[in-house]
Amino acid sequence: MTRKQYRPPDTSSMHSSKHSEVSRLLEEHNLQFTFHRNDEDSGCTKSHDTAIMGRFICHNPKCVTNGWSSRQIAITIRMYPRREYNAKVYHQRCKSCGSLSKPILDDTYAERVAYWIKKWCGIQQEKPPHSGKSKGPHQKRFCEGCKAGHCSQLQYQ
């Protein structure tokens, strides 16, 4: 019998399933991009750290937390040659037990990604609003984007 090799939990994820939402927003300006599936900085021509909103669920069965919402989910948007892009979304840790959780994303993901692609393509537009009120200050010890040096809150701290 072989032993299972330990694999640390993922601290970020890619969301290619959201590409159709991004594409719909880009089509308004006749832009067509494909999703670059490789999670790599090398080869990208543009990159920007920003934040989106979403919800987290703690999957630790021993944890008492039902989950939490966040208005500060770190994300790195990258553009590549041949009209490709991707976005790396950083996970957060549960404040109760410290387990990593992958976010459930809302519409701000597609809005932010499309905004930066349009901007990099020279399209003038208003920056999407960051709506909602935060229930407290950003706690960088729970943010994997902060730990990786890609959280937009780092520039304000």
pLDDT of 156: 46
Amino acid identity, position 14: M
Q: Are 15 and 103 contacting, i.e. CB atoms less than 8 angstroms apart? A: no
Of 94, 92, 91, residue with least CA distance to 60: 94
Confidence label for 147 from pLDDT (cuts 50, 70 and 90): very high
* Contact between 53 and 142 (Cβ < 8 Å): no
Residue given tokens 């902060």 in the structure block? 146
Banded pLDDT at 8 (limits 50, 70, 90): confident
pTM summary value: 0.90
Give the whole-angstrom CA distance, residue 71 versus residue 22: 20
**What is the structure's pLDDT at 155?**
54
Task: Residue 9: count other Cβ atoms within 10 Å of its Cβ.
Answer: 12
Question: Average pLDDT of 40-54?
Answer: 95
Q: Is the pLDDT of residue 157 over 50?
A: no
Radius of gyration over every alpha carbon of the chain, rounded to an integer in angstroms: 17
